[in-house]
Structure formats: C-alpha cells, structure tokens
Amino acid sequence: MIANMALTINGGVDKSGADEGVRSISMRGGEIVGIVGPTGSGKSTLISDIEQLAQADTPSRRTVLINGERPDPTIRTDPRRKLVAQLSQNMHFLADMAVGEFLGMHAKSRGKTESMATETVKLANTLCGEPLNIDDHLTSLSGGQSRALMTADIALISDSPIVLIDEIENAGIKKQDALNLLSGEGKIVIVVTHDPVLALVTSRRVVMSHGGMSKIIERSEQERRICARLAEVDDMLISLREVIRNGLVIEEMP
C-alpha cells in the first residue's frame, strides 16, 4: 500500500447544486480529521465519496485524489488493493468462526504471518472492558468486543492507509485510544461524530451543511485544553460502566 499517503478531496456541489464552501482539503498519514454537522447535512455522503474514491461521478461531483493524482481505476475496483477500511457503530460478524481463525485468514491474505492473531487480540483487549479470547467465536462477541477487535485488526493487519469511522460514540470501546492507535500507525483517520470528546481530539473538523462541506475549523488551544478535561470525564464513565456491568455498586470502585 501507499506509504506517507496524502488524500485530497476537491469540493463539488451541495444539495442545491451550488458550489461547496470548501473547495479542497488535504490530509496526511497520522492525522485525525473530524466530520461534523446535524442529521441530514451530508456526512454519510462525504464518507461514501471517500470510500469510493469518487471521480466527479457521484451526486456531489467531488473528486478524490491520492498524492495529488487521480487513483488508478483498479484501486477502486480490486478489493485486494482497497485503500479504505471502515469502522462503524453497527458491526456484526456473519461468519461463525473462531477469532483466531478469522485473524489468521486475514493476516495470510495480506501476506503476513498468522501468528499476528495473538498480538491483535492482545491489542483489542486494551480497547474494551470485556476481554475476548482467541478461541471465542465471532458471533458471540458483544458490540464493544467486535469494534475493539476490528480496530486492532485495522491497526496491525490491514494495509489500508485510510480509516473511516462512522459514529462510534456509544461503541463500548475506549474511543480516544482507538483513534490514537490508528493514527499512530500512520493512517489517515476520518471520524464522523456528534461526540464532543471525539470532535475535539481531531486536529481539524469539516463542518457539513445542506449536503456540502461548508467550512473547516482548526482545533484551538482552548479546545485542546477542554478536550483533556473531557477525556478525564470520559475515562471515569468507562470505569463506572464496568463497575455497573460487573454487578458492583459505585462505592466498591477500586
């Protein structure tokens, strides 16, 4: 896959057919960029355009460039060369196989050793409160375990340099840790969110309105400080969730 990749989205039109306010935005590996806006503002359409590497052939007429150039058509059609991995709130496994078997197959298909399965499970268990085992069946995993597993899989096994994350605020995983893990692997992380913690983790956020990219907000120093305080609250909520899940009362917290 492409190392140190640059992704550029050239603006098209909004729902009314008018030019988008943002004419172009570029991102590089290791960056976390947010997409925010009210329901119906066009967030899902934007990530769909990125996933498809749109070439002015979608209703938005946006163009997506890789390293400043139009991508080779085979990258858009060959699943083995796919540049984009997706992580969403509603993830369900259909295959009834063991976690280790699934990860081993994925690693082998990517030209990596099947032994990476153990490392991937270990990493997944740092992201969620419910430990999962390599012998667990995929269909028995909870939503949080599934998303933690796929986050670790994308970080360690997947070669896709772009990760699209669609509203994981209630995903049952350590959200900030997940984003920092993926960006730390040099991937471009694009997250659609209503969660103020996640929105403020991003270095920039694209504001959507009426189906178009209306503006880009750079994270301020004040927002950075607020984010740190919110992160402490978020960590406390995760701890409380585990206390309640395990049948304890708050006074029994360690």
Among 139, 159, 179, which residue terminates a domain? 159
Do 144 and 99 form a contact (C-beta atoms < 8 A)?
Answer: no
Q: For residues 128 and 252, state if they share a domain.
A: no
pLDDT of residue 171: 59
Q: For residues 69 and 126, state if they share a domain.
A: no
Q: For residues 166 and 55, state if they share a domain.
A: yes
Q: For residues 5 and 76, state if they share a domain.
A: yes
- Give 165-215 as a DSSP string: EE--TTSSS-HHHHHHHHHHTT-EEEEE---HHHHHHSSEEEEEETTEEEE
Q: For residues 27 and 117, state if they share a domain.
A: no
Q: Which two tokens stand for residue 178?
A: 């997940």
Which tens digit of pLDDT belongs to each residue from 157-208?
A: 988 899 998 876 655 678 888 888 999 889 999 999 888 888 999 999 999 9
* pLDDT bracket for residue 75 (50, 70, 90): confident
The pTM for the full model equals 0.86
pLDDT of residue 115: 86
Q: For residues 214 and 144, state if they share a domain.
A: no
pLDDT of residue 77: 80
Q: For residues 75 and 172, state if they share a domain.
A: yes
Angle between helix axes 116-124 and 99-109 (nearest 10 degrees) is: 120
Q: Which domain holds residue 94?
A: 84-159
pLDDT of residue 4: 77
Query: How many domains does the chain divide into?
Result: 3
Comparison of pLDDT for 251 and 145, the residue scoring more: 145
Which tens digit of pLDDT belongs to each residue from 4-59?
A: 789 999 999 999 999 999 999 999 999 999 999 999 999 999 999 999 999 999 99
Given a cut of 80, is residue 126 above it in pLDDT?
Answer: yes
Which tens digit of pLDDT belongs to each residue from 77-110?
A: 877 778 999 887 666 666 789 999 999 999 998 8
Q: For residues 60 and 170, state if they share a domain.
A: yes
Whole-angstrom distance, CA of residue 213 vs CA of residue 87: 22
Q: For residues 76 and 1, state if they share a domain.
A: yes
Residues 13/75/110/127 CA torsion (nearest 10 deg): 0
Q: For residues 73 and 181, state if they share a domain.
A: yes
Q: For residues 45 and 150, state if they share a domain.
A: no
